[in-house]
Amino acid sequence: MSTSHLSYLHTAQDILKQIEATQTDAIAQASDMCAETIAEDGLVYLFGSGHSRMAVEEMFPRYGSFPGFFPIVELAVTYHNQVVGCNGQRQALFLENISGYAEVILRNFTFGPHDTMMVFSNSGTNILPIEIAMGAKARHLPVIAVSSIAHSRSSTSKHTSGKRLFEIADLTIDNCNPPGDAVVDIPNLVYPVGPTSSIGTLSIVNAIKCRVAELLTERGKPPVVLTGAHFLGPEESAKQIERAYDDYKARLHGG
């Protein structure tokens, strides 16, 4: 019987073990930065293009998450389901490597003195996430990156500076994904299948989320958690969701 499915699961588990063995200090440091930002009524801005958008929305908003994180999701570089035609993948891939686009995005926001930027990019080589990080640093925001160091080191930056995301960020968390982002070789198939970057990155996101919730609670500022009916019942859950959305609105600068 084929074992390709087991090969994927075993590799995914190995990646999580690598993250635990090598990245816990970086995760703790990122959590401290985010908790400090949120405790001071700042916002942790989140940016990712392409499939890195998943990490942004994994952080907030979804059940088990809480306000203080601001997702920046540009549909032009994250809207994948069309594939071809209007809003197709070709356009998205093109825009990810247009210099100046990041500045157009950042100009839509008023950043505060306690804010932080978190940028997700597995390769760390595309122009858009690199310039988002550069633009955030120019605005005096500390920058946290989540990226594959192995993939990034084996790749060439598309930015004119020659720098990759991990070389710009103040703190980088390695998602421990191998170069190429596909881990299973199939007999008689030329190229491997089964990407794992999302496994590592989403696990890092949720680890940070849990630690930040703990830190805020220890400070006497427990977050307003988006909580489902399983824990509260449908009526109280609906009220809790409204409280979380109101809290989110109140945190927005000028909101």
Task: Please state the rounded mean pLDDT for residues 91-102.
Answer: 90
Read off the pLDDT band of 253 (50, 70, 90): low
**Nearest to 177, CA basis, from 47, 32, 28, 22:** 22
Neighbours of 231 (CB within 10 A): 12
Give the model's pLDDT for residue 7: 93
Task: Please state the rounded mean pLDDT for residues 103-126.
Answer: 95
Beta strands in 60-188 (DSSP E): 69-72, 116-120, 143-147, 171-174
DSSP characters for 96-111?
TT-TTHHHHHHTT---
Task: Please state the rounded mean pLDDT for residues 69-95.
Answer: 86
pLDDT tens digits, residue range 167-219? 999 999 999 999 999 999 999 999 999 999 999 999 999 999 999 999 999 99
pLDDT tens digits, residue range 28-68? 999 999 999 999 999 999 999 988 999 999 999 999 999 99
Residue 254, pLDDT > 60, answer no
Give the model's pLDDT for residue 1: 58
Residue 223, pLDDT > 60, answer yes
Give the model's pLDDT for residue 88: 84
